[in-house]
Structure 1
Amino acid sequence: MTSSAPRVELTPAAAELLLRLRGTHGPLMFHQSGGCCDGSAPMCYPAGEFRTGGSDVMLASLVVEGVAEPVEFWMSKSQYEVWSHTRLIIDVVAGRGSGFSLEAPEGVRFLTRSRLVGT
């Protein structure tokens, strides 16, 4: 991946939702694991609420217009190995995701789309 290509980017809908969630919950972060069910979806938490460790990598500090601080995007190393050849695009779709992710009460969920690097 070239250094100018972002490793993780947000769709306009995802950025708008993050702005609203930031207003309600304060600073935010994402974590995407390789677990079953919703565990492989990007989960949004108040910053620092999800404890990251040696089995996680921080892929990006996402800048969202209107949000004072970047939103860190973390992923488990095992999941990153699967996605490392792609650019991740965080989007929002209708439907209920995990009850642990902040957008769950909104009737939407974050979703990771991907694009092969170089396309």
Structure 2
Amino acid sequence: MDRSSPVGRTTGLVVAGALAGAALVGAGVALADGLAGGSPKVTYVKENRTIPPGYLSTNVVCPKGQQAIGGGFAHVGEHQQEHPVIAEISAPSNTSGEPDDPTNAWTFFFVNDKEKTTPVEVHVICAPLDG
């Protein structure tokens, strides 16, 4: 087969792609096998909060020995799209107050411009500190 023909070039690219893909899969399997104890144990913590008229500053804390790797919130029940509760802060933090300590919590600062309280669920996703 002539490698300069379109069919020859396509065949060569397909073979090269297959070999590269196989090498990546093999490397991924080797990396996964090299992880101590397999994949780290991820913990999910969900709590309910009630945001009063005005604002609420709150956090959700990871279990001891774990760090926050994600977080968020969800409205519970009805909410007004025209006047939503605003989360001005949704970010990792730590409960120690020391800047170099691991982030073991997810912090929120909600603003509620309604006259009624608004319920929300707050979440943090945690992974082991040494994982």
Q: Which has the larger radius of gyration?
A: 2
What TM bracket, shorter-length normalisation?
Answer: under 0.3
Q: TM-score, normalised by structure 2?
A: 0.24
